[in-house]
Amino acid sequence: MAVAIPSGLTDDNDFIVLLNSLLKGLLVQQAPEQLWVIQIDNWFDHKWLRYSGSGSVGSRFPVDWTSAFMDRFDSVKEQFWQDKLTFPPFAPDRVVGQWSFLHSSRGYMEEPVPKLPHSQSRRRSHSNLRNRAENFVRSASFVWYSGNTLKNGRGSVMVYNIGSPQPVCWFAAFARNSEWALERTRGVDKEHVARLLIGG
């Protein structure tokens, strides 16, 4: 059975056709045990690629500062892109849909999986720092794509391929002029994405 993500009310139909072509190419090339497709409510940029979240770290103020002011500000927030890959910490209200497909003798079949990559309840960003993708599944492709493409005229796709020897992660941005076109990539060359779009 072919994987096909439906077009929603805020989706540009042609962008969803492009997305489904990319999914087909990924499955031909990677053949993961699982495929996860996750829609985010609006456009997102390459800064989400491998982003783990934010947490508190000790401040860099001089150690001899001992005033009450320093007691209140002895730590600062910092953003993390960790070596151990975690799921991007999108807020639950930004996650519009999560589809899971499992490989079988009949191809990829949509199967609800009880454990989701993205929690449906709000948590502090630092709790994501240990939400490691490799602990979730042994072999999978995770694909995030942006919603609201009908209005925005631009779309983004982010891919995490989990498996041996190590995860491969990349980002691609698309724009609609007379038709949808690949604008730029991060973590992969444009030629590779172009090959995926024509079926692998």
pLDDT tens for residues 59-91? 454 555 454 444 445 544 444 444 678 889 899
Give the C-alpha separation, 63 to 42, whole Å. Answer: 44
Contact partners, residue 175, CB within 8 Å, separation at least 6? 153, 154, 155, 181, 183
Q: Is 177 exposed, middle or buried (0-12, 13-18, 19+ CB in 10 A)?
A: exposed
Helix-strand-coil percent breakdown of the chain, rounded to 5?
Answer: 25, 35, 40
Per-residue pLDDT of the chain (200 residues; tens, 9 = 90+): 579 999 999 999 999 999 999 999 999 999 999 999 999 999 999 999 998 876 444 445 455 545 444 444 554 444 444 467 888 989 999 999 999 999 999 899 998 877 777 666 555 544 445 556 677 778 899 999 999 999 999 999 999 999 878 889 999 999 999 999 999 999 999 999 999 999 75
Report pLDDT for 164.
73
| Rounded Cα–Cα distance for residues 167 and 158 (Å) | 13
pLDDT at 123: 55
Q: What is the pTM of this model?
A: 0.81
pLDDT at 118: 61
